[in-house]
Amino acid sequence: MGLLDGKKIVITGVLTDASLAFGVARLAQAEGAEIVLTGAGRGLRLTERTARKLATTPDVIEFDVTRPEHATALHDTLAERWGRVDGALHAIGFAPESCLGGNFMAAPWDDVKVALEISAYSLKLLADAVVPLMTEGGSIVGLDFDATRAWPAYDWMGVAKAALESTNRYLARELGPRGIRCNLVAAGPVKTMAARSIPGFAAFEDVWSERAPLGWDVTDGEPVARACVALLSDWFGATTGSMIHVDGGYHAMGA
């Protein structure tokens, strides 16, 4: 038996087979889950193409987190298809160019609020869609980059991730009485499409493996996928409101 045998899992954020979410989708299937993917906008076709690289091609449902009606539509589609949902992966983040790159003071509010809406409030919007269908409890897992530190060039995306971490804690408080767990996985830097859009990302690569006591491979998302699948399973039944670091131990080391 797999960790996710019989589970119905919604996975957001798959763009290419290098996406961290793709690794979660692949491992979730291998562990017995039935999954659907979501995509949005111009990336929807890309998600549909990448879905065909999985062992079993899942359906892709449109879910644009800037359009609240899409949460209602996602809920209705899942209710008709499955009747219940057991887990969901939040792997959604975006910040306009002005919000990244080392000029923190330059970003206008109109750009900052886009970063906050897409990268943080979207966790609550995903919960709107899936929580009513988690009739037997469930698990919501989000991908994070530890926002307890101010990182070079990460700027307002770091602020958005801090908001994501706070949103996760409040969702854990709100949803715990229903048996629904909410946790984040704070991943070390991995070479994905999202990472390549961050100016100065190479600076993370240069120091991470040297400082992480377990080492770190920026081309390997498998440790992150394993952590997400474990949290989506029943093995962490008493863990909620947490941020699990999967970064080779970098976060715990001094400069």
What whole-number distance in Å separates Cα of residue 161 and Cα of residue 143?
10
Choice among 7, 8, 124, 161 that is catalytic: 161
Residue 68 to residue 24: CA distance in whole angstroms: 25
1-4 — which CB contacts under 8 Å span 24+ positions?
1/32, 2/30, 2/31, 2/32, 2/33, 3/31, 3/32, 3/229, 3/230, 3/232, 3/233, 3/235, 4/28, 4/31, 4/32, 4/33, 4/86, 4/87, 4/229, 4/232, 4/233
250 is catalytic: no
User: Is 161 known to be catalytic?
Assistant: yes
The catalytic site residues sit at 154, 161
